Structure 1
Amino acid sequence: MSKLQRQAALQQWLSKTFKIASPDLQMVSGDASFRRYFRFELAGRSAIAVDAPPSTEKNHQFVALAEALSQQGLAVPSVYAADLEDGFLCLQDLGSSLLEQQLTPSNAKQLYRQALRLIVQLQQTPVQSLPELERFDAAFIQRELDIFADWFVGQELALPDTWQQQADWSSLCRELSEAIMQQPYVAMHRDFHCRNLMLEQQRLVMIDFQDMVEGPICYDLVSLLRDCYVGWPESLVQDLSLEYFQHLPAPLAQSVSEEQWQRWFDLTGLQRHLKAIGIFCRLDHRDGKAAYRAAIPQTLSYALKVSAAYPELQTFHQWLASVTKGLSDELH
């Protein structure tokens, strides 16, 4: 079914579900997935209609998690109606104010502190109160790292397989996996960044949580503070990370040193950023979404800085620096 046909079917579903005339759908946005969002009038207020093809989108997970997270008091959009078979949703309209659009040097610390409180609230949510979450285990971690290998190294750089020996890739994967799995595991959004947080009447609301897993305590924190789409001075990142660490429950804070916390934070971020570089390339090469290439230089800079800071990652760092030398300008 074409996009126009799906949009017409979405209009028919909304008309039948809410017993209204066929609504005028105004495109709001698309995103890195195959979902499309439309705004329309519903009973005198604005609502969001979502075209989320069931062959590619996790609609069952989104709806189940929206209900469960809401019951736990977390700020998420309400689901007014859903046709899971056809992939149509109707959601609460949270407005158009993404965190990304509101951040300034003067308000960043205040808004990030609010976002950190939301992470804490999510992590305090008992995993058993949520629909069954996949565990971010060694196999999961490796599948994500393979995205970097396949789409950045294989497709973007087109390097021969010998790169894995030159980069000491297996050792890097092992170091990252071990650092991640040493951490306490909690409910994890998995994509907690400035484009998945909306500011609605001064409160932050999470969106795009359908990929939630049970994962390491540092993951959402580093996703937020070392965001692929917006960068901040490392002093601010460190201040907020340590502030978060110092407010951890006493047993954990007492058993983990600041040095250990920093290593968890850095290596968890490195795993995420390598995956993200691969995803940005996949979005371009496979899906024709070249705009995401603009985020590669920022994300790559995180990977280079972190890998440079750890002696055990020096072989990988030197390889990455050599194959990406001068690449930032080309990627734009």
Structure 2
Amino acid sequence: MSNLVRESALQQWLSQTFDIVPPLLTMVSGDASFRRYFRFQLANGDTAIAVDAPPATEKNQQFVDIAKALSAQDLPVPKVLAADIDAGFLCVEDLGSTMLEQVLSADNASELYRQALALIVQLQGSKRKNLAVMEEFDQAFIQRELDIFADWFAKEELQVGEEWQQTCDWSGLCSMVSQAILEQPYAPMHRDFHSRNLMLNQQQIVMIDFQDMVWGPIAYDVVSLLRDCYIAWPEELVDELQQAFLSEKSAQLSGPIELSTWQRWFDLTGLQRHIKALGIFCRLDHRDGKTAYREAIPQTLEYVLQVTKRYPELQAFHQWLSPIAKGFKV
């Protein structure tokens, strides 16, 4: 079904659902998925956000279930006003248009990131039984994500032969990052917690795009936020903020985590995420025609190189990737 046909069907659904004339839909944004977002006006003059989320590709029921569960835990998420799961249409609360990324500066980064980190602590304090059913970020899940790099960055983007895996000790890297992830305490994990998935609404940070939430390692959302593929900060600030998180998180843990252990978890969990992201950015380009995400490749490569340089076990991968990364500099 074409976008225009779906947009017309979305208008009719909104008209019937809210007893209004078919509303004018103003495109707000698309994203890395196949979802599209539109702003429209309700009968009382308020605005809301209509979401076109094709059911063949989007996790609409998960979004609705998780939103309800998180709201019940007093976590800041948009209210779902209406949903047609089969059609792939949603209507959610309008949180405005201010993403965290748009307001961050050297002057306010520390304060805003501390608010966001406190939100991670609150999320991780939620009991699994009080949340919607979610997958476990287990060994198979971790490897599936790493394989996105192999399929889309190495094979599709670089067009390298199978020998690359031996050259860079790919299996050794996969084993090392998996071990670092699996040995961590597990908690609710947003899985895409960064400056473009956090909105500022009346000075409160609100989470969006949480339909892919899983039960996973406590370092994942922290490194997603602090080593954001779309915006980078000095390591001094990153170190200060991740230690602040660890200090606040300690109240939820049965025992303290050594700073060296935490740093290893933070680094290697981030490495898994950034390697996956490189594959996704290339997949968005080659498969979906979304070329804009290529702009994030140089910064993401830089994160990978920083971490692999730091660990002796990852030197083969670092040496393999370093010359490749030079071709992506902007």
> Normalized against structure 1, the TM-score is what?
0.97
Partner of 2:265: 264
Partner of 1:17: 17
CA deviation map 1:141-195 (0-9, x unaligned): 0000000111000011000000000010000000000000010000000000000
Post-superposition offset of 1:247:
2.2
- Structure 1: stretches of 5+ with no match in the other structure: none
Q: For the residues of structure 1 that align with 2:18 and 2:255, how far apart are their CA atoms?
A: 54
CA deviation map 1:61-110 (0-9, x unaligned): 00000001000000000000000000000110000000000101000000
Post-superposition offset of 1:316:
1.0
SS at match of 1:324: helix
- Indicate if the aligned counterparts of 2:28 and 2:38 stay in contact, CA closer than 8 A: yes
Q: For the residues of structure 2 that align with 1:151 and 1:254, how far apart are their CA atoms?
A: 40
Change over 3 Å in CA distance of 1:251–1:79 after alignment to 2: closer
Post-superposition offset of 1:233:
0.4
- Indicate if the aligned counterparts of 2:278 and 2:301 stay in contact, CA closer than 8 A: yes
Q: For the residues of structure 1 that align with 2:257 and 2:199, how far apart are their CA atoms?
A: 33
Q: For the residues of structure 1 that align with 2:13 and 2:175, how far apart are their CA atoms?
A: 49
Partner of 1:236: 237
Q: For the residues of structure 1 that align with 2:91 and 2:298, how far apart are their CA atoms?
A: 36
- Indicate if the aligned counterparts of 2:121 and 2:248 stay in contact, CA closer than 8 A: no
- Indicate if the aligned counterparts of 1:245 and 1:253 stay in contact, CA closer than 8 A: no
Partner of 1:309: 310
- Indicate if the aligned counterparts of 2:297 and 2:328 stay in contact, CA closer than 8 A: no
CA deviation map 1:90-135 (0-9, x unaligned): 1100000000001010000000000001001100011111111100
Partner of 2:58: 57
Partner of 2:209: 208
Partner of 1:36: 36
Aligned length: 329
Q: For the residues of structure 2 that align with 1:310 and 1:213, how far apart are their CA atoms?
A: 28
Q: Does 1:66 align with 2:84?
A: no
Partner of 2:321: 320
- Indicate if the aligned counterparts of 2:197 and 2:209 stay in contact, CA closer than 8 A: yes
Q: For the residues of structure 1 that align with 2:232 and 2:325, how far apart are their CA atoms?
A: 20
Q: For the residues of structure 1 that align with 2:196 and 2:251, how far apart are their CA atoms?
A: 32
Pairing of 1:238-257 with structure 2 (within 5 A):
238-250=239-251, 252=253, 254-257=255-258
Q: For the residues of structure 2 that align with 1:253 and 1:326, how far apart are their CA atoms?
A: 46
Q: Does 1:108 align with 2:109?
A: yes
Amino acid at match of 1:328: K
Q: For the residues of structure 2 that align with 1:44 and 1:322, how far apart are their CA atoms?
A: 56
Partner of 2:126: 125
Percent of matched pairs sharing the same residue: 65
SS at match of 2:82: strand
> Normalized against structure 2, the TM-score is what?
0.98
Partner of 1:286: 287
Q: Does 1:193 align with 2:168?
A: no
CA deviation map 1:254-282 (0-9, x unaligned): 44211010000000000000000100000
SS at match of 1:176: helix
Amino acid at match of 1:46: T
Post-superposition offset of 1:253:
7.8
Question: C-alpha root-mean-square deviation of aligned residues, in Å?
Answer: 1.0
